[in-house]
Amino acid sequence: MGVKINQIKTFKRKKRFNIEAGFYVGPALIMIVVVFIYPVIEVFRESFLDIRKWPGTFIGLRNYKIVFTDRMFYLSLLHNIELLLIIPIIIFIALIVAVIMHEKIFGEKFYRSVIFIPYIVPLVAIGIAFSFFFQFRGGFNQILDLFGLDFLISDWLGNIRLALPVVAAAIVWRELGFAIILFVARLGSVSEDTVEASLIDGAGWWARFWRIYIPELTNVIEFYVIISIITMLSQIFGFIFVITNGGPANATWVSELYIYKQAFQFNHMGAAAVTAVVLMVITITLVFVSNRLRRRLGEGNE
């Protein structure tokens, strides 16, 4: 009887504690549901509707058929995949710069501030600056001419093969700062004893880079890869819209622009919803694959 009473009291304490915890967690949970989960469910629901007239009528998989038979959908995805290729470039450059800055160059604090500035400049401003700089009569061609490289002068934004690389350059310019700061912050916790020992052993800069710094930065690099995948798939609309608006001749259409055009130019909310669902599935899949690879590599190292 005494044991039972104690158990009841314990249960009641635990129950009180859980309800109490719920009050603390609840508001955040509500926000997460409202801001993140509800929109996902709603977009998924709308992908099965014809919403020309609100609130829409159920049409089954017809929106999926429309999107999956649209050449522009695949072209847009292809451009997103091409932009994924700049992730290794950003990481490589950021690693080099971060290690140099970590090893205490003159003016290192100044460089830290300057390098991060592009990341906080409004995206629209970057887009406008790049669009002017890379026009045929823009600054870039003038610099090429100044240095006697006029054979390289081109209509960068008017060439369907060069326009996307120009947009990629704008993305790299903006994202590099964040990656460098991220790596520099992690390098700050690398043991100085290890570095000194390597110096004593005669390790050169590249040896330290590959054998000490890269292994130490593995977790951060993996984190940055995941962030970058999400960025290249679903956070570059601003660059595209401002610099090229999908031109020239569809050469810079990406999935977000496709969603935008479907929703607001063609009044086809259902098709826009389908594309959003597909983009979400692709993003989740890539992140999942990335995590699995990371774990397998980690297990292999052990």
Contact by Cβ (8 Å): 49, 270: yes
Nearer to another protein, 139 or 215 (CB): 139
Q: How far is the CB of 181 from another protein (least distance, A)?
A: 33
Residue 265 binds another protein (CB under 8 A) = yes
19 vs 21: CA distance, rounded Å: 5
3-class secondary-structure state, position 57: strand
Residue 245 binds another protein (CB under 8 A) = yes
Alpha helices in 70-209 (DSSP H): 71-84, 86-102, 108-120, 123-133, 139-146, 163-187, 192-200, 205-208
First-to-last C-alpha distance (Å) of the chain? 53
Interacting residue with another protein among 11, 17, 136, 210 (CB under 8 A) = 136
**Tokens at 176, concatenated:** 């590099």
Residue 266 binds another protein (CB under 8 A) = yes
Nearer to another protein, 135 or 198 (CB): 135
**Tokens at 32, concatenated:** 């997460």
Residue 189 binds another protein (CB under 8 A) = no
- 66 closest CA partner among 80, 47, 53: 47
180 vs 301: CA distance, rounded Å: 26
Q: How far is the CB of 238 from another protein (least distance, A)?
A: 14
184 vs 148: CA distance, rounded Å: 37
Q: Which stretch binds another protein (CB under 8 A): 63-71, 121-129, 273-281, 282-290?
A: 63-71
Distant-in-sequence, close-in-space partners of 195: CB < 8 Å, separation ≥ 6: 208, 212
Residue 160 binds another protein (CB under 8 A) = yes
Q: How far is the CB of 103 from another protein (least distance, A)?
A: 42
Interacting residue with another protein among 73, 140, 156, 224 (CB under 8 A) = 156
Interacting residue with another protein among 250, 282, 287, 294 (CB under 8 A) = 250
Nearer to another protein, 177 or 246 (CB): 246
Residue 66 binds another protein (CB under 8 A) = yes
Residue 53 binds another protein (CB under 8 A) = yes
Contact by Cβ (8 Å): 255, 301: no
Maximum distance among all Cα pairs of the chain, rounded to whole angstroms:
97
Q: Which stretch binds another protein (CB under 8 A): 1-9, 24-32, 179-187, 246-254?
A: 246-254
Residue 264 binds another protein (CB under 8 A) = yes
CB atoms under 10 Å from CB of 47, counted, come to: 22
Nearer to another protein, 133 or 183 (CB): 133
Distant-in-sequence, close-in-space partners of 281: CB < 8 Å, separation ≥ 6: none
Site for another protein (CB under 8 A): how many residues? 29
Residue 246 binds another protein (CB under 8 A) = yes
Site residues for another protein per CB under 8 A? 52-54, 66, 69-70, 134-137, 155-160, 244-250, 261, 263-267
